[in-house]
């Protein structure tokens, strides 16, 4: 196999994209049977950033025009050279590929690192945004496969590029071998002396620009005796940091370093007490990986891709919350056992990003493309759309085994549990396919929004623990998501089970909820905290077969649910300024009962209908009782 690479940044970039390219080429050469790795470079580099090994072939522009205009050569002229070199597959390492590859029968892959210029456009100039958008649009349309370096990047590609999920493969990146070595005390001492490092310090590595948010760490250090070491090139944003340092007399506590050789930087990581990375947005966050390999505990930001890099044992904060950050820093500085445990757990977690695994994943992507024929788009392949099954749980010991078994047909199962105490967590952990995430419960909308963000695939099946998919419904789901023109979201009708009997009326005969949808086309509204509302960008439809809903276990259990839902609805209505009066306490519950028992034919359900309609009315009464209590609070 002969693989061509866009190698401009490999030879001319010291940081993120350059590091990624160098690592990809190095580990593919080391671990995979590639005959030739052809590196297309715009011009020779003044610095030696990359060691050329056997099997590497560097190609430059040949005629005077392309040498004069190497940037245009990289976009257009290089294609002729790629074809002449008889390359099997071309890999755009930095989010772009040249024009004409498809026309010339060259299979191609592009790595998309992030779409921050679309998700956070205020960080970019007008012209940069135009250029990056055009490059992304061309690459997304013409590459045979897109490699996304994180699930977050994949979600963004689907959202902003309207790209089919099956065309995108998530392949995590690793980091330089320097961060995986253990350095001797004498080498560490030399680095300490060379850079004047304090005994204990907080480390941050990255360009000093606004979205990296280093100023928040400086603010957190203010009022403490902690030292902060900032390693990175300074941009305009660095002026804000210097002004704050001068105004608050922090010169002796904040140290600036740049242009550190990689081996010395790796030692600085290992010397750090804490690595702090409160970035607002990233494609992945390689410095987090570097810190975990260095056995240094990590504090980073909530949301985005950070949990993918940091794993379950790192500490996560809101990026601009300096007060909470100060508290977390104090926690780690004061507790060496916690630091030690975090270092061990982080090191164990980061092993999934080792060179051999990354090489295997990238090489596997190459072989997949070639196996399906050069210049053959994924839209023509037989691969089926994948689906993520999601659920949130708390003390669902009676349902959890059944629902996880019921969802086995999904490509992944993600369970977000609110720290169950009844054994639910143990059952989830025993299920080989289920991914468990423990997270405190705030409200249903918040928990479901978070859970949806964790899905790897665009198609999402979101059900409750007391719901079951029948075999006909499962077949309909799989057929629907792989049909030619699926809509954005689908309602499911539900069959309500009163213990082991079907409740046919009482308002449940027309009950339906969104359960299947494309993640890129929906979001939950933030004004509802119970009976959450899904907003759909596009058309909706209804599936033919029904979901089974085992909601009624016994009288006390269902009563507790109705009261809980009523109390949460009260919190919603409190924000609207409603003030309950006798109308709400008398008429509204009575009408609820009358509507469900008489108008919606609950009377035909016999005793079951009477119980359900009464408890539904009780939920309405509980709502206004709770609202009155909240209104009377000082």
Indicate the DSSP class of residue 234: B
Q: Any residues with CB less than 8 A from the CB of 47 and at least 6 apart, and which?
A: none
Beta strands (DSSP E) in 36-120 are 36-40, 56-59, 89-92, 107-112
Percent of the chain as helix, strand, coil, to the nearest 5: 45, 20, 35
pLDDT on residue 102: 84
Three-state secondary structure along 188-208?
Answer: HHHHHHHHCCCCCCEEEECCE
Q: Would the pLDDT of 203 be above 90?
A: yes
List pLDDT tens digits, range 522-551.
998 877 666 678 889 999 999 988 888 887
Q: What is the mean pLDDT of residues 209-216?
A: 93
Non-local CB neighbours of 3 within 8 Å, separated by 6+ positions:
28, 34, 36, 37, 38, 87, 88, 89, 90, 91, 366
What's the pLDDT score for residue 368?
A: 81
Token look-up 């690479």 returns 5
| 194 class by beta-carbon count within 10 Å (0-12 exposed, 13-18 middle, 19+ buried) | exposed
Going by pLDDT thresholds of 50, 70 and 90, the confidence category of residue 404 is: very high
Helix or strand (DSSP H, E) at 460: strand 459-462
**Does the pLDDT at position 233 exceed 50?**
yes
510-520 tens-digit pLDDT: 778 889 999 99
- pLDDT for 373 equals 52
List the beta bridge partners of residue 90. Answer: 4, 108
E runs forming strands in 84-220: 89-92, 107-112, 145-148, 168-170, 202-205
Mean pLDDT of the chain: 88
Burial 380-410 (b: 16+ CB within 10 A, else e): eeeeebbbbbbbbbebbbebbeebbebbeeb
d(CA 119, CA 125): 14
Ranges of each domain in the chain: 2-170, 177-352, 384-552, 555-631
- Separation CA 80–CA 469 (nearest Å): 54
Q: Give the C-alpha distances (Å, rounded to integers) separating 83 from 106, 130, 255, 612.
A: 7, 29, 50, 71
Least confident of 50-54, 189-193, 460-464, 486-490: 50-54
204 has a pLDDT exceeding 80: yes
- Structural tokens at position 275: 């690595």
Whose tokens are 């071998």? That residue is 177
Q: How far apart are CA 442 and CA 427, in angstroms?
A: 23
What is the pLDDT at residue 381?
Answer: 35
DSSP for 317-342?
E-TT-HHHHHHHHHHHHH-HHHHHHH
pLDDT at 226: 95
**3-class SS at 501?**
strand
Of 29, 33, 136, the residue nearest 367 (C-alpha):
33
Structure confidence by residue, pLDDT tens digits, 562-588: 787 677 777 767 777 777 788 878 888
The yes-or-no verdict on residue 394 having pLDDT over 90 is yes
Mean pLDDT of 413-418: 96
pLDDT band at 589 (very low <50, low <70, confident <90, very high): confident
Residue 271 has pLDDT above 90, yes or no: yes
Residue 280: is its pLDDT beyond 50?
A: yes
C-alpha to C-alpha distance for 486 and 383, rounded to whole angstroms: 16
**Cα(347)–Cα(311) distance, rounded to whole angstroms?**
10
pLDDT band at 50 (very low <50, low <70, confident <90, very high): confident
Domain 384-552, CATH: 3.90.550.10
- Bridge partners of 413? 389, 434
CB atoms within 10 A of CB 240: 14
Q: Does the structure show a pLDDT above 80 at 384?
A: no
What is the assigned CATH class of domain 177-352?
alpha beta
pLDDT digits (tens, 9 = 90+) for 73-116: 999 889 999 988 888 899 999 999 999 988 888 889 999 998 98
Higher pLDDT pick, 269 / 173: 269
Residue 348: what pLDDT? 93
| Weakest-pLDDT range from 4-18, 189-203, 223-237, 402-416 | 4-18
pLDDT digits (tens, 9 = 90+) for 285-330: 889 999 999 999 999 999 888 999 999 999 999 999 999 999 999 9
User: What is the three-class DSSP state of 257?
Assistant: strand
Residue 483 has pLDDT above 90, yes or no: no
Structure-token pair, residue 383? 């691969």
Mean pLDDT of 234-244: 93
Thinking of the domain 2-170, which architecture would CATH place it in?
Answer: 3-Layer(aba) Sandwich (3.40)
Residue pair 490/516 in contact (Cβ under 8 Å)? The answer is yes
Please determine whether the domains at 2-170 and 177-352 fall in the same fold group of CATH: yes
554 burial level (CB within 10 Å; 0-12, 13-18, 19+):
exposed
Helix (H, G, I), strand (E, B) or coil at 358: helix
User: Can you tell me whether residue 529 is helix, strand or coil?
Assistant: coil
């Amino acid at each position: 196999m002969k693989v061509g690479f866009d190698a401009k940044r490999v030879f001319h970039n010291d940081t993120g994209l350059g590091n990624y390219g160098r690592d990809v080429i190095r580990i593919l050469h080391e671990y995979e049977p590639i005959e030739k790795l052809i590196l297309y470079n715009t011009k020779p580099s003044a610095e030696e950033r990359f060691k050329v090994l056997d099997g590497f072939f560097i190609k430059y522009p040949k005629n005077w025009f392309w040498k004069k205009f190497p940037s245009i050569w990289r976009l257009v002229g290089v294609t002729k050279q790629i074809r002449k070199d008889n390359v099997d597959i071309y890999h755009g390492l930095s989010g772009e590929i040249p024009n004409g590859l498809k026309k010339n029968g060259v299979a191609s892959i592009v790595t998309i690192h992030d779409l921050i210029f679309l998700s956070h456009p205020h960080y970019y100039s007008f012209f940069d945004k135009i250029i990056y958008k055009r490059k992304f649009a061309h690459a997304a349309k013409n590459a045979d496969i897109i490699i996304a370096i994180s699930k977050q990047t994949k979600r963004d590609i689907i959202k902003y590029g309207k790209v089919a999920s099956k065309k995108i493969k998530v392949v995590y990146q690793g980091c330089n071998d320097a961060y995986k070595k253990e350095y001797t005390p004498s080498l560490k001492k030399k680095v300490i002396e060379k850079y004047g490092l304090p005994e204990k310090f907080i480390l941050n590595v990255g360009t000093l620009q606004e979205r990296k948010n280093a100023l928040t760490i400086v603010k957190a250090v203010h009022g403490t005796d902690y030292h902060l070491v900032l390693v990175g090139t300074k941009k305009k944003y660095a002026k804000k940091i210097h002004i704050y340092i001068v105004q608050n007399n922090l010169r002796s506590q904040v140290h600036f370093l740049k242009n550190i050789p990689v081996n010395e930087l790796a030692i600085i990581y290992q010397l750090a007490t804490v690595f702090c990375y409160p970035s607002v947005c990233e494609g992945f966050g390689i410095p987090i990986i570097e810190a975990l390999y260095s056995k240094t505990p990590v504090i980073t930001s909530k949301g985005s891709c950070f949990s993918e890099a940091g794993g379950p044992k790192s500490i996560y904060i809101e990026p601009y919350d300096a007060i909470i950050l100060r508290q977390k820093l104090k926690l780690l500085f004061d507790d060496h056992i916690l630091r030690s445990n975090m270092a061990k757990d982080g090191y164990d977690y980061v092993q999934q990003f080792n060179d051999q695994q990354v090489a295997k994943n990238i090489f596997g992507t190459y072989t997949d493309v070639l196996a399906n024929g050069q210049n053959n788009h994924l839209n023509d392949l037989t691969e089926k759309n994948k689906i993520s099954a999601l659920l949130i749980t708390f003390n669902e010991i009676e349902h959890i085994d059944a629902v996880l078994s019921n969802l086995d047909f999904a490509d992944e199962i993600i369970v977000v549990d609110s720290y169950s105490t009844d054994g639910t967590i143990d059952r989830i952990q025993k299920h080989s396919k289920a991914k468990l995430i423990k997270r405190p419960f705030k409200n249903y909308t918040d928990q479901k929004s978070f859970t949806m963000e964790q899905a790897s695939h665009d198609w999402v099946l979101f059900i409750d623990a007391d719901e079951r998919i029948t075999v006909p419904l499962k077949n309909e789901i799989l057929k629907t998501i792989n049909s030619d023109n699926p809509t954005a979201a689908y309602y499911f009708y539900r069959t309500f089970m009163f213990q082991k009997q079907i409740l046919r009326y009482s308002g449940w005969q027309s009950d339906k909820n969104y359960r299947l949808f494309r993640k890129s086309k929906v979001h939950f509204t933030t004004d509802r905290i119970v009976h959450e509302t899904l907003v759909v960008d596009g058309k909706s439809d209804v599936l033919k077969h029904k979901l089974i809903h085992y909601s009624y276990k016994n009288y006390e259990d269902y009563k507790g649910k109705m009261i809980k839902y009523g109390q949460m609805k009260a919190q919603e209505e409190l924000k609207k300024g409603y003030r309950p009066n006798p109308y709400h306490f008398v008429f509204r519950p009575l009408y609820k009962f009358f509507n469900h028992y008489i108008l919606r034919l609950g009377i035909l359900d016999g005793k079951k209908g009477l119980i359900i309609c009464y408890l539904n009315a009780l939920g309405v009464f509980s709502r206004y009782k709770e609202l009155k209590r909240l209104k009377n609070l000082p």
